[in-house]
C-alpha cells in the first residue's frame, strides 16, 4: 500500500469530510474521491461556525481559494459581554471570526466540484468495511453518532461520557455586537445563554441549563418552536424582544467522545467521529478542519498508509487531548455555574473568561489591560502588587504570600531521622521566598513509613532533628512558615525507595501493614494488610496525637493531616479501599469516622493558635471511587471539626486510576470545594507558572497554590516570579546575602545593530 491512496471514500458531508476531500484532491488530481452524505446539500444542524486565526492560517496555506471565499463571508468582532444580575461587563481584544454554516458547506461543495470530487447527497454510505474492500482509504467523518465507530467499537474502543446540562441551538435575526453570555436566575434554577453573530443580520443563540432545571421549567415537554419562544422570553436583555427560531433544533445533552484508536486498517476517524469538545470553548468544526489538514499532510509526507495514519494520530492526539481537557473544565464550570453567582461582578466575569484554563490573567492583560487591571484592583492588591504576593491569614498565622512549597517525599532519612539533606532541601526553599514550605509526609510510626528512607516524628531524636530545621528557617528566612504533614502509609508501606522501584515491596526486611480493609495495593505484588480492629484504631490514633505533640515541640507553624493518595486515612475515605461493614465503613459518614477521630485527637494536641489543614484526594480517577460530590462533603466535615483549609489533591488511591493529566488539571476540584463551601483551599496539580497562580487566585478558585516540581527545578522559584513581574515588596523579600542576585544577570548579545535607515520599494518600480 502506497502513502498516496488513489481511491478515497469519505463518509459524511460535513466540513471535515469535505475539506479532507478538497485537500487530497488538490495534492493529487488523479485521485478518485467520493463523498457520501445521507442528507441534502443544505442539510445541517446549528447556524454559525466560529474559526480561530490559527485554523484560518492553516486553511490559507493549504488552499488559498477556500480561504478567500471564507474571508468574504466572515463576521468579525473582538468583545465578550457578560450579563449578570443587571450588569454588563465587557472584555475586549479577543478576536473572533464566524460565518453561516450553510455558506461554509456551499463553499466547500463548490470547491469539491471545481476539483472533481464526487458528491453523493441523499445517499447512505456503504459500511466502512465494504468501502475498504475497493478503496485505498476510507475517511469516517460521520459525526458524534458515527456508525463507523460503532461498527468497529471493539477496535476503536470509544468512551462516551454524557454530561449534566441540556442545551438547544437556536438563532435570531439580528447581529449581536459581541460574544454574549447572559445568566438568568429563574424560579426553576440557573439558565445561561451563549450568543454570537454569524451573519450581518443573524446570531447563533445556545441556551443551556442543568437537566433538573430543564425539567423543573417544563422545557422537556415543549416542541422546537415553543422552546424557542420560551427562551426568548427568558433572555430579553440580550434579545431585546427579537424572537428565536430553530433549525430542526432539539434539547440534547453534550457527549464527550474519546477513542483509544483513530484508525483501523484503511479506515480513519476524523472530527466528531474521533473526538468531541464542548461548544463553550469553540467549534467542533475547527477540530474537524484541523484533522483534515493534518491527515492530508501526513498522507503526503509518509511513504505508506499505515505510517501516514500513525503520524496523523501522533500529531493530532496531543492537540485534541489538550482541547478536550480545556473543554471539560469549561463545561464543568457551566454545570456548576450556580456556585459562582455570588462572586463580585468582575471576579465572576474573570472566572467565566478563564474557566477553561487556556486564558490566564497575563494573556487577558494583553487583550484588555484595563479589564485585567480592574480585576486585580478589585481583588485588593496594593498598587504594583501581583495577587500571589498578597498576604493570607490562617488562624493565628499570616502568610506573606500565597505560594506553598508542596510536600515532596525525599526518601533520604535514616531510621526516620531527617539529616543534612532535609536541612538544605527545606532551608533552600524557605530562602527561596515561598510563604509556606511543607515537609514531606512525616510518618507517625516505624510501621507507618512508606519506605525505609521516610522521615518520622515518633522519637525524641527525630524531634530534635526537625527542631534544627525549623530553627534554621525561622532564623535565616524570617517570615517563611514551615508546615509538617503527618501521615501513615497504610497498605502502601514497606516499599523500596522511589528511584529503586516505586511501590515495589522491599526485597528483605518488610514490616507488617495495616489498612481499613485487607486489600493489597496491587494483588500478587504488595502484601495483604491487616484490617485494623478497635485496638489497632486506638493505637494509630494515639500515634498521630503523640507525633503532633512532637511537631509542636519541634517548632512547626502549621500541621497538615494527610488523608490523600491511598495512605491509611485516605484508605478509610475511599469506597474502593474501605469495604468494612462496621461503623467505620459503608456510607460516607462511616468512612469519615476514623479520619475525623484522628483529626480531633491531633487538633486537641496542636496549639490552638496554629492552623491545621487536611490534604484529600478529591477523586480516585476510578469508577466507583470517591466523587467530587463526596469531596465537598469530606471538606465540610473536616471544616466542622476545625480544619482551617483543605489541600485538594487527587488520585494515587488505586493503581488502575485514569487521571486526566494536564496543566493545572487538579485545580477544578479545589475550585469546586471552595465555591460550594466557602472553605479556604490549597490548589495543587501541575501549577507551573506565576501566571497560573495569579489567575487561580483572581478567579476565586484557590486561596493558596502549592507547587512541587517547579521548586525542585528552581528552589528560588517564588523570588524569581517576583523579579519577572517587577515586584520588590514585602510579599517576596530577598535574603540580605542574595539581594545582589535579585535581578536577572545580563546574557550575551545575540542581535546585531538595528539598521539606521529602511527604504521601501521605489514608486512604480515593482521592486
Q: Are 583 and 593 in contact (CB under 8 A)?
A: yes
Dist CA 545 CA 350 (whole Å): 43
Angle at 431 (CA atoms; ends 428, 433), nearest 5 degrees: 120
Dist CA 275 CA 285 (whole Å): 11
3-state secondary structure of 763: coil
DSSP 745: P
Q: Which of 146, 141, 153, 137 lies closest to 270 in space, CA to CA?
A: 141
Dist CA 589 CA 252 (whole Å): 36
Dist CA 361 CA 188 (whole Å): 34
Q: What are the strands, taking DSSP E only, across 37-157? A: 48-51, 75-77, 80-84, 87-91, 96-100, 118-120, 137-140
Q: Are 101 and 44 in contact (CB under 8 A)?
A: yes
Name the grid cell of 557.
507553624
Q: Give bridge partners of residue 405 from the DSSP assignment.
A: 437, 707
Q: What share of the chain is helix, strand, coil (3-state, %, to 5)?
A: 40, 20, 40
What is the distance between the terminal CA atoms of the chain, rounded to a whole angstrom? 48
398 φ, ψ (degrees, to nearest 5): -115, 120
Q: Which residues, including other chains, have CB under 8 Å from residue 38's CB and lie 6 or more apart?
A: 122, 123, 124, 125
How does 458-475 read in b/e, with b if 16+ C-beta sit within 10 Å?
Answer: beeebbebbebbbebbbe
Q: Choosing from 312, 567, 584, 727, which is the catalytic residue?
A: 567
Dist CA 217 CA 187 (whole Å): 8
Q: Which residues, including other chains, have CB under 8 Å from residue 597's CB and lie 6 or more apart?
A: 537, 541
User: Contacts for 232-241 with beta carbons within 8 Å, 24 or more apart?
Assistant: 232/172, 234/184, 234/186, 234/191, 234/207, 235/182, 235/184, 235/193, 235/205, 235/207, 237/83, 237/182, 238/83, 238/176, 238/180, 238/182, 238/193, 238/195, 238/205, 239/172, 239/205, 240/174
Whether 713 sits among the annotated catalytic residues: the reply is no
400 φ, ψ (degrees, to nearest 5): -80, -20
Q: What is the largest CA-CA distance in the chain?
A: 97
Dist CA 10 CA 726 (whole Å): 55
Question: Could you tell me the sign of the dihedral formed by the alpha carbons of 342, 346, 352, 357, in that order?
Answer: negative
User: Helices 284-301 and 305-335 meet at what angle, rounded to 10?
Assistant: 160
50 φ, ψ (degrees, to nearest 5): -105, 130
Give the full edge-to-edge strand order of the sheet including 137-140. 118-120, 32-36, 7-11, 137-140, 267-269, 263-264
CA dist list (Å): 644 to 25, 206, 223, 596, 703: 64, 41, 50, 14, 12
Instruction: Count the alpha carbons within 13 Å of 522 in the hemisphere toward its beta carbon.
Output: 12
Element (H, E) at 427: helix 420-431
Determine the distance from the C-alpha atom of residue 23 to the mean position of all C-alpha atoms in its chain, rounded to a whole number: 33
Residues with catalytic annotation? Answer: 567
Amino acid at each position: 500500500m502506497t502513502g498516496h491512496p488513489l481511491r478515497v471514500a469519505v463518509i459524511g458531508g460535513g466540513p471535515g469530510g469535505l475539506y479532507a476531500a478538497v485537500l487530497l484532491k488538490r495534492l493529487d488530481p488523479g485521485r478518485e474521491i467520493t463523498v457520501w452524505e445521507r442528507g441534502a446539500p443544505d442539510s445541517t444542524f446549528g447556524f454559525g461556525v466560529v474559526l480561530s486565526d490559527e485554523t484560518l492560517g492553516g486553511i490559507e496555506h493549504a488552499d488559498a481559494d477556500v480561504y478567500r471565499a471564507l474571508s468574504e463571508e466572515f463576521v468579525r468582532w473582538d468583545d465578550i459581554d457578560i450579563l449578570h444580575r443587571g450588569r454588563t461587563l465587557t472584555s475586549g481584544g479577543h478576536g473572533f471570526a464566524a460565518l453561516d454554516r450553510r455558506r461554509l458547506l456551499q463553499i466547500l461543495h463548490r470547491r469539491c466540484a471545481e476539483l472533481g470530487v464526487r458528491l453523493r447527497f441523499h445517499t447512505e454510505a456503504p459500511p466502512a468495511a465494504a468501502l475498504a474492500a475497493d478503496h485505498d482509504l476510507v475517511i469516517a467523518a460521520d459525526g458524534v453518532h458515527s456508525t463507523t465507530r460503532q461498527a468497529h467499537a471493539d477496535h476503536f474502543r470509544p468512551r462516551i461520557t454524557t454530561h449534566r446540562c441540556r442545551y438547544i441551538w437556536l438563532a435570531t435575526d439580528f447581529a449581536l455586537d459581541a460574544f454574549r453570555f447572559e445568566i438568568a436566575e429563574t424560579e426553576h434554577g440557573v439558565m445561561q445563554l451563549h450568543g454570537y453573530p454569524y451573519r450581518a443580520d443573524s446570531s447563533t443563540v445556545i441556551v443551556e441549563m442543568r437537566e433538573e432545571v430543564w425539567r423543573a421549567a417544563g422545557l422537556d415537554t415543549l416542541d422546537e418552536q415553543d422552546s424557542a419562544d420560551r427562551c426568548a422570553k427568558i433572555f430579553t436583555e440580550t434579545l431585546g424582544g427579537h424572537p428565536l427560531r430553530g433549525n430542526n433544533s432539539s434539547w440534547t445533552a453534550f457527549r464527550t467522545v474519546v477513542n483509544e484508536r483513530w484508525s483501523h486498517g484503511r479506515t480513519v476517524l476524523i472530527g466528531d467521529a474521533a473526538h468531541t469538545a464542548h461548544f463553550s470553548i469553540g467549534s467542533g468544526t475547527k477540530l474537524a478542519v484541523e484533522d483534515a489538514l493534518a491527515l492530508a499532510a501526513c498522507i503526503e509526507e509518509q511513504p505508506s498508509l499505515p505510517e501516514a495514519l500513525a503520524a496523523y494520530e501522533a500529531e493530532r492526539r496531543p492537540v485534541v487531548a489538550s482541547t478536550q481537557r480545556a473543554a471539560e473544565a469549561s463545561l464543568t464550570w457551566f454545570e456548576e455555574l450556580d456556585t459562582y453567582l455570588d462572586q463580585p461582578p468582575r471576579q465572576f466575569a474573570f472566572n467565566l473568561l478563564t474557566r477553561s484554563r487556556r486564558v490566564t490573567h497575563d494573556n487577558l492583560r494583553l487583550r484588555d489591560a484595563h479589564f485585567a487591571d480592574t480585576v486585580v484592583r478589585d481583588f485588593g492588591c496594593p498598587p504594583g502588587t501581583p495577587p500571589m504576593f498578597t498576604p493570607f491569614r490562617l488562624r493565628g498565622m499570616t502568610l506573606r504570600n500565597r505560594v506553598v512549597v508542596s510536600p515532596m517525599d525525599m526518601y533520604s532519612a535514616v531510621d526516620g531521622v531527617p539529616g543534612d539533606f532535609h536541612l538544605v532541601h527545606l532551608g533552600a526553599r524557605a530562602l527561596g521566598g515561598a510563604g509556606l514550605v511543607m515537609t514531606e509526609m512525616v510518618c507517625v510510626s516505624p510501621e507507618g513509613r512508606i519506605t525505609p528512607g521516610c522521615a518520622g516524628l515518633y522519637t525524641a531524636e527525630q524531634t530534635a532533628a526537625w527542631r534544627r530545621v525549623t530553627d534554621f528557617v525561622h532564623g535565616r528566612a524570617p517570615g517563611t512558615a514551615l508546615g509538617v504533614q503527618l501521615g501513615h502509609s497504610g497498605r502502601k508501606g514497606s516499599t523500596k525507595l522511589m528511584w529503586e522501584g516505586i511501590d515495589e515491596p522491599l526485597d528483605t526486611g518488610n514490616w507488617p501493614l495495616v489498612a481499613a480493609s485487607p486489600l493489597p495495593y496491587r494483588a500478587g505484588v504488595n502484601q495483604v494488610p491487616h484490617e485494623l480492629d478497635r485496638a489497632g484504631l486506638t493505637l494509630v490514633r494515639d500515634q498521630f496525637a503523640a507525633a503532633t505533640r512532637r511537631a509542636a515541640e519541634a517548632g512547626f507553624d502549621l500541621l497538615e493531616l494527610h488523608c490523600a493518595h491511598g495512605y491509611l486515612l485516605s484508605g478509610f475515605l475511599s469506597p474502593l479501599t474501605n469495604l468494612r461493614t462496621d461503623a467505620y465503613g459503608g456510607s460516607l459518614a462511616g468512612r469519615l469516622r476514623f479520619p475525623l477521630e484522628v483529626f480531633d485527637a491531633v487538633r486537641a494536641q496542636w496549639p490552638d493558635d496554629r492552623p491545621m489543614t487536611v490534604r484529600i484526594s478529591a477523586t480516585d480517577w476510578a469508577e466507583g471511587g470517591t466523587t467530587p460530590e463526596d469531596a465537598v462533603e469530606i471538606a465540610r466535615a473536616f471544616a466542622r471539626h476545625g480544619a482551617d483549609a483543605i489541600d485538594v489533591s487527587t488520585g494515587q488511591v488505586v493503581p488502575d486510576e485514569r487521571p486526566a493529566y494536564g496543566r493545572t488539571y487538579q485545580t477544578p476540584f479545589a475550585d469546586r470545594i471552595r465555591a460550594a463551601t466557602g472553605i479556604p483551599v490549597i490548589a495543587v496539580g501541575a501549577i507551573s507558572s506565576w501566571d497560573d497562580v495569579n489567575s487561580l487566585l483572581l478567579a476565586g478558585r484557590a486561596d493558596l497554590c502549592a507547587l512541587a516540581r517547579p521548586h525542585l527545578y528552581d528552589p528560588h522559584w517564588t523570588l524569581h516570579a517576583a523579579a519577572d513581574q517587577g515586584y520588590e515588596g514585602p510579599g517576596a523579600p530577598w535574603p540580605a546575602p542574595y539581594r545582589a542576585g535579585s535581578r536577572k544577570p545580563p546574557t550575551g548579545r545575540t542581535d546585531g545593530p538595528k539598521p539606521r535607515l529602511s527604504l521601501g520599494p521605489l514608486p512604480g518600480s515593482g521592486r
